[in-house]
Amino acid sequence: MEIAKLVLDYLKAFLCWPVAALILGILFLHNFKDAISDFFRRIVRGEAYGVRVEATSPSEQRKEAKEIEPILTETELERYISENPKQVLTDYKRVYNSYWFERGYNLIFGTQLDLLEYLIGKGSEGENYVNLTSFHNEFLKRSKTQTYQFADYLGFLRDMNFVEYVGEGADLSLRISPYGVDFLSYIKGQYPSAYKFKPF
């Protein structure tokens, strides 16, 4: 009798609404994961606590695809370049910078991003080279490696044109370049929360 009562108590606990809701939620997500994934890919607008979300319909998606201009033929492209040299230069710079920023974002470590943000706060004066070792030490601690030298750690940022060296010897300082400021602005726009979680 006591065993039956014990089993009944366990069943009551197991079938209480939080557990049942959790099980139903997991089943719902499992069965409708493709539909949910498709919905999130199409989201164009949302609100916070009022919980209002809006997604593009398949017809809207097709409509937007039709608005994309077709690729020009080689002859049309040459004519467009000769007729619009300034616009082509502007477009080229924008595309090239986006490519370079994406490449930099894929390679950069989280502590190097922290360093760039720190240098923004320092303005045009920058910071003494030696005072930036704390960022490198944090990188070594997080990555559990001792093979990446401080000079290479900062050298990557200089090679990417994100920082500039100023002065020499004991007076050597680093400051963020205008290109580095643009890079940070770009990744904050493209990856507003993800950039904060870059490894190391």
DSSP 147: -
Specify which of 16-30, 75-89, 183-197 reaches the highest per-range mean pLDDT. 183-197
pLDDT band of residue 193 (cuts 50, 70, 90) is: confident
The dihedral through the CA atoms of 10, 15, 19, 24 has a sign that is positive
Highest mean pLDDT among 54-68, 81-95, 180-194: 180-194
Position 60 scores a pLDDT of: 58
Find residue 178's DSSP bridge partners.
none
Every domain of the chain and the residues it spans: 2-64, 103-197
Tell me if the pTM is above 0.75. no
Which whole-number Å values give the CA distances from 180 to 17, 105, 199, in the listed order? Answer: 53, 12, 19
Confidence class for position 145, pLDDT limits 50, 70, 90:
confident
Q: Distance between CA atoms of 111 and 6, rounded to whole angstroms?
A: 55
Q: What's the token pair of residue 153?
A: 């750690």
pLDDT of 80 reads 80
CATH number given to 103-197? 1.10.10.10
Q: Is 127 exposed, middle or buried (0-12, 13-18, 19+ CB in 10 A)?
A: middle
**pLDDT attached to residue 190:** 86
